[in-house]
């Protein structure tokens, strides 16, 4: 976009898109447009939070679309629940002579329903972060021609209100200071890292309820719905009650399988040139952990040090539990420090044909 030219469609039009898949694609594209505008006008070689958000949103889009999660749940359910399914099929006819058996089709329907619930939770989180942060960043870039002071005043006026407002205010204050610093200043990159860390801290805290909900999918209720039609519905209460123990046992195993499948699916970040497994430490780039300008942070690194668990070494950062906010943030802040000056972060998330479809209101062709 040209300096001062409004982004189209506006963030609120994107947020109002009913189709969660199409909305996520637009959110991803808008983050890219904001990241490029900020690079060209002020950030230079330093990526802003928007550049990282592009790839987080695009990775989330895979779950929102259901690209891999249903198959992952089905696979792990088959691997981990086989004994419980066999026990149900063996004991149910003895407890309730007219009971049916659980087959592969039941597990497939179960996986699809749980994946749909997780998709809805992730889509809700993706939208919640966008409506809180996009207005401020859009206000910043569209008002830039009026001068930095006016642009940041406009951005602060658009910031989300609430308990985290002070964190976002501090983030945009750090962006203001970083953008104003001379390109050769040793404070510039650390200030922008501080801004990025403050912004992502707000993002991750805002996402926490959606993450917890995704991991706590209503497995028992979903299992009951799947089994009701073929196995439980026609059984009188006298026969159903003895089966509750078997259903509870199966649900407990399936709940564990679902948590593992969701965690494995979500603990990754795919960018234009990397597939990062959050279960492993943040890898260095070409053997170098920190880029020039971020090897030493000084007092401007306070937001980084708040979340870093590595003593500044970048090791260990591997995440074992997606629901662990502190563990996620330890990985993320070290990733941000390592990749803040990595140019491929600004690569476009979609090719020309996909972008044309998106602007025409169509879902682009896969793969996305």
279 neighbors 286 (Cβ within 8 angstroms): no
54 neighbors 349 (Cβ within 8 angstroms): yes
Q: Which of 18, 257, 46, 4 is nearest to 147 (CA)?
A: 4
Q: Can you give the length of the chain in residues?
A: 368
28 neighbors 5 (Cβ within 8 angstroms): no
Question: Please, which residues bridge with residue 288 across strands?
Answer: 285
DSSP string of 2-33, one letter each residue: -TTPPPSS-HHHHHT-S-HHHHHHHHHHHHHH
Question: How high is the pLDDT of residue 163?
Answer: 52
Question: How high is the pLDDT of residue 183?
Answer: 86
Max alpha carbon distance in the chain (Å)? Answer: 80
Q: Which two tokens stand for residue 276?
A: 């990062």
**363 DSSP 8-state letter:** P
224 neighbors 232 (Cβ within 8 angstroms): yes
212 neighbors 351 (Cβ within 8 angstroms): no
Question: How high is the pLDDT of residue 244?
Answer: 81
Question: How high is the pLDDT of residue 27?
Answer: 98
Question: How high is the pLDDT of residue 224?
Answer: 84
Question: How high is the pLDDT of residue 160?
Answer: 65
Cβ-defined contacts of 271-275 (< 8 Å, 24+)? 271/55, 271/344, 271/345, 271/347, 272/55, 272/344, 272/345, 272/347, 272/349, 273/344, 273/347, 274/344
Question: How high is the pLDDT of residue 296?
Answer: 93
**345 DSSP 8-state letter:** G
330 neighbors 315 (Cβ within 8 angstroms): no
Q: Which two tokens stand for residue 326?
A: 């502190």
Per-residue pLDDT reduced to its tens digit, 252-271: 999 999 999 999 998 999 99
263 neighbors 271 (Cβ within 8 angstroms): no
Per-10-residue mean pLDDT for the chain, 368 residues long?
70 97 98 96 94 97 95 93 92 78 91 94 95 95 92 90 76 96 93 98 92 86 83 67 84 92 92 96 97 94 97 96 95 98 97 95 91
Q: Which two tokens stand for residue 40?
A: 């060209």
Q: Which two tokens stand for residue 101?
A: 């058996």
Q: Which two tokens stand for residue 122?
A: 């992730």
Question: How high is the pLDDT of residue 7?
Answer: 85
Report CA 30 to chain centroid distance, whole Å.
16
Q: Is 171 in a helix, a strand, or coil? A: helix
In 3-state terms the chain splits into helix, strand, coil percentages (rounded to 5) of 70, 0, 30
Could you tell me the pTM of the whole model? 0.93
Q: Which two tokens stand for residue 140?
A: 């910043």
Question: How high is the pLDDT of residue 231?
Answer: 76
Question: How high is the pLDDT of residue 233?
Answer: 66
């Amino acid at each position: 976009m040209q300096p001062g030219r409004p982004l189209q469609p506006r963030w609120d039009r994107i947020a109002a898109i009913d189709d969660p898949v199409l909305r996520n694609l637009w959110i991803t594209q808008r983050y890219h447009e904001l990241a490029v505008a900020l690079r060209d006008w002020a950030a230079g070689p330093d990526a802003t939070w928007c550049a990282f958000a592009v790839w987080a949103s695009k990775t989330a889009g895979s779950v929102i679309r259901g690209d891999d999660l249903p198959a992952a749940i089905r696979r792990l359910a088959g691997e981990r629940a086989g004994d419980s399914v066999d026990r149900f099929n063996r004991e149910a006819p003895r407890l309730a002579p007219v009971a049916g058996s659980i087959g592969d089709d039941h597990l497939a329907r179960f996986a699809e329903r749980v994946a749909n619930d997780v998709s809805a939770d992730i889509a809700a989180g993706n939208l919640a972060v966008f409506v809180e942060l996009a207005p401020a960043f859009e206000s910043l870039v569209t008002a830039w021609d009026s001068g930095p002071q006016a642009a940041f005043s406009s951005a602060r006026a658009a910031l989300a209100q609430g308990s985290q407002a002070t964190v976002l205010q501090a983030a945009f204050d750090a962006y203001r200071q970083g953008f104003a610093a001379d390109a050769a200043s040793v404070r510039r990159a650390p200030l922008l890292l501080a801004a990025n860390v403050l912004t992502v801290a707000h993002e991750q805290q805002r996402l926490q309820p959606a993450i917890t909900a995704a991991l706590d999918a209503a497995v028992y209720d979903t299992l009951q719905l799947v089994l009701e039609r073929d196995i439980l519905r026609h059984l009188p209460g006298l026969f159903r009650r003895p089966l509750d123990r078997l259903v509870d046992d199966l649900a407990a195993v399936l709940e564990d399988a679902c948590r593992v499948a969701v965690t494995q699916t979500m603990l990754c970040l795919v960018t234009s040139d990397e597939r990062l497994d959050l279960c492993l430490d943040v890898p260095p780039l070409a053997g170098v952990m920190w880029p020039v300008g971020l090897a030493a942070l000084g007092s401007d690194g306070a937001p980084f040090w708040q979340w870093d668990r590595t003593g500044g070494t970048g090791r260990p950062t591997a995440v074992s539990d997606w629901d662990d906010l502190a563990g996620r943030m330890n990985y993320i802040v070290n990733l941000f420090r390592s990749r803040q000056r990595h140019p491929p972060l600004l690569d476009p998330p979609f090719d020309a044909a996909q972008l044309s479809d998106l602007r025409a209101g169509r879902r682009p062709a896969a793969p996305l």
